[in-house]
Amino acid sequence: MSTNNIKDLENRLWEAADHMRANSSLRLNEFAEPVLGLIFLKFAGVRFSKTEKEISEERKVKTKSHGGASVARERPVSSADYHAQGTLFVPEKARFSYLIELPEGTDMGKAVNDAMKEIEAENKELAGILPKSFQMLENRSIITLLKNFNQIPDDIEGDAFGRIYEYFLGKFAIADGSGGGEFFTPTSIVKLIVEILEPYKGYIYDPACGSGGMFVQSVEFIKRHFENGKKIKASREVSIYGQEKTDQTVRIAKMNLAIHGLSGDIRQGNTYYEDLHRSVGKFDFAMANPPFNVNGIDKERIKDDPRFPYGIPRNDNGNYLWIQIFLSALKNTGRAGFVMANAASDAGHTEKDIRARMIEDDLVDVVISVGSNMFYNVGLPVTLWFFDKGKRKTDRKNKILFIDARNIYHQIDRAHRDWTDEQIKQIADIARSYRGEKGAKEYENIKGLCKVATLEEVREAQYSLNPGGYVGMSESSQSDAGNFVTSFEALHKDFSELTKKAHDLEKKIDENFKKIL
């Protein structure tokens, strides 16, 4: 399918599902998981049918090559044959085609729950993962959803299925407002983090993995950038490890991975207190969008945790705990990229002490300011931080690249923005130039956009990691600022005149009212 056709399909599918949600008594989180489960079920069925045909064709070829004798006695096809080709085995009663043809009066909630159980029984990696809450939905709602998702053509590619799943994740995140950000990070933010980290190969860790978008985009990055035309299976180049606080989000992440043909070790646990992957010094890449400004963390429980080598900050805020979790997870040459609250860039007291020590240890590599309205759960601007433990042995020693990308965005609607692929490339190319990568343009500072600051300059700035303080304002921005002042003065003058007229009218009305009395 073409990109435009997929977009049209996504919109039609969402409009139908959202209409049903609006007319149901279910809360959003109760509705989201079954819907995502049905998208998964359709995907699994399509992949299964394709593999079934391929296996059948292979057996026909064997039969012909052996005169039709030996293969006739070959063992029956089993789930192992499908697993060997990276395909989930889908029993007959778990297939979309079977469910959609069930007679009127069938308990559809039970039928779909049973379908999920059968898939889990045949595919052990999905045990306990698929949703089984379909009896919360009315029969007619399940039938309507089945018919809705049956619009997805059987010849659709796996990548397109992944796009549809991510599209629904994003839509649910928008609809859920502040809660949506707990499981979904906007794709354009994830893409930029991955483009700058460049996770070609190795162990990837996300201790706040949400729906698993960082993992999916890491594999997509490899597909886009595999070197010298070398044919590789991207999913085999990286090993995926994640942790997430809620069981529901872990299930959503595992379904997301499966729909993209991936698998990973995703575990449920509170990352502040539980290091389920024994992460210290283990990973080539760490990437995440952690919750910001969390308070109430029990610091007594973590005071001796090796993940916090720079100590526990005294203030009641989890930002600098997360920062150290990412840093401590890296191998000696590892890289980390993550979203962080703007306030962390200039935070004072013990947080400043920790930041200063990390900067002096030459761990901070790139810092990017991101404009407002890029996230579903927070309208405020944020910052992207990047660590590189190996930079001390490069020309970037004692240097930090600052990028101010607040004026780079694509307006989706009044309340939401993202980046286009071209804009992501534009920002990532600055980092590639800074690193002196093969094929990249020679780096140069651009006022208002990017600057490579020396360690001495960062010291003079009191260890601030706020890009705006280093890159300055472009000439156009200064001109805009001047125009804003002029415009504001004119508006203030107009407002003053209107206020004076309003007072005059009030006075006349009062005088006329007194005459009437």
How many residues are present in the chain?
A: 517
pLDDT at 217 over 70: yes
Q: How far is CA 36 from CA 40, 122, 131, 145, 149, in A?
A: 6, 20, 9, 11, 10
Least confident of 60-64, 96-100, 133-137, 338-342: 60-64
| Alpha-carbon 64 to chain mean position | 49
Q: Over the stretch 6-32, which tens digit does the pLDDT of each residue have?
A: 788 888 888 888 887 777 777 777 788
Q: In whole angstroms, what is the distance from residue 122 CA to residue 118 CA?
A: 6
Place of tokens 């007229």: 501
Task: Characterize the bridge pairing of strands 382-388 and 364-370.
Answer: antiparallel
User: Residue 486's pLDDT is what?
Assistant: 46
484 falls in which pLDDT band (50, 70, 90)?
A: very low
Cα separation values, 136 from 33, 59, 276, 283, Å = 11, 43, 33, 41
Q: Which one has a higher pLDDT value, 295 or 185?
A: 295
Which pLDDT tens digit goes with each residue over 331-348? Answer: 999 999 999 999 999 999
Q: Give the integer Cα–Cα distance in Å for 11 and 15.
A: 6
Provide the sign of the torsion angle of the four alpha carbons 191, 197, 200, 202, taken in this order: negative
Residues 60-93 as b/e (b if ≥16 CB within 10 A, e otherwise) read eeeeeeeeeeebeeeeeeebebbbeeebbbbbee
Mean pLDDT of 343-361: 96
Q: Please compute the mean of the pLDDT values over residues 179-186 and round it to a whole number.
A: 65
* Other Cβ atoms closer than 10 A to 276: 16
The answer, yes or no, to whether residue 209 has pLDDT greater than 70, is yes
Distance (Å, whole) CA 327 – CA 438: 27
Residue 161 above 80 pLDDT? no
Cβ(189)–Cβ(339) below 8 Å:
yes
Place of tokens 């309340």: 415
Report the first-to-last Cα separation within the chain, whole angstroms.
Answer: 77
Q: Tokens 């089945």 correspond to what residue?
A: 146
Rounded-to-integer distance, Cα 233 and Cα 238, Å:
10
Burial class of residue 231 in the structure, from the number of CB atoms within 10 Å of its CB (0-12 exposed, 13-18 middle, 19+ buried): exposed
Report the greatest alpha carbon distance in the chain: 115
pLDDT, the chain, mean = 86
Which residues are paired to 454 by β-bridges? 399
- pLDDT value at position 487? 46
Task: Determine phi and psi for 253, rounding to 5 degrees.
Answer: -65, -45
Tokens, residue 111: 């039928």
Q: What is the DSSP string of 88-104?
A: ----GGGSHHHHHTPPT
* Residues 310, 353: Cα–Cα separation, whole Å: 9
The two structure tokens encoding residue 183: 């499981």
Residue 29 tokens read as: 């989180």
DSSP three-state, residue 467: coil
Instruction: Give CA–CA dist 58/124, Å, rounded.
Output: 26
> Is the separation of the CB atoms in 452 and 445 below 8 Å?
yes
475 burial level (CB within 10 Å; 0-12, 13-18, 19+): exposed
The residue that leads in pLDDT, 478 or 280, is 280
What whole-number percentage of the chain has pLDDT above 70?
Answer: 84
Q: Above 80 in pLDDT, residue 175? A: no
Residue with structure tokens 């009305």?
509
Token readout for 8 is: 């049209």
Rounded distance, CA 421 to CA 345, Å? 27
Count CA atoms within 13 Å of residue 170 on its CB side. 21
From the list 322, 324, 301, 300, the residue with the least C-alpha distance to 311 is 324
Q: For 448-473, how does the pLDDT look when each residue is reduced to its tens digit (9 = 90+)?
A: 999 999 999 999 999 999 999 999 98
Q: What does the pLDDT average to over 136-162?
A: 84
Q: Which two tokens stand for residue 399?
A: 């240097």
352 by Cβ neighbours in 10 Å (0-12 / 13-18 / 19+) ranks as: middle
pLDDT of residue 491 exceeding 50, the answer is no
The string of pLDDT tens digits covering residues 311-329 is 999 999 999 999 999 999 9
pLDDT tens digits along 193-206:
999 999 999 999 99
Ranges 165-179, 256-270, 370-384, 390-404, most confident: 390-404
Residue 50 C-alpha from the chain's centroid: 29
- On the question of pLDDT at 231 being above 80, the answer is no
What proportion of the chain, given as a percentage, has pLDDT over 90?
Answer: 53
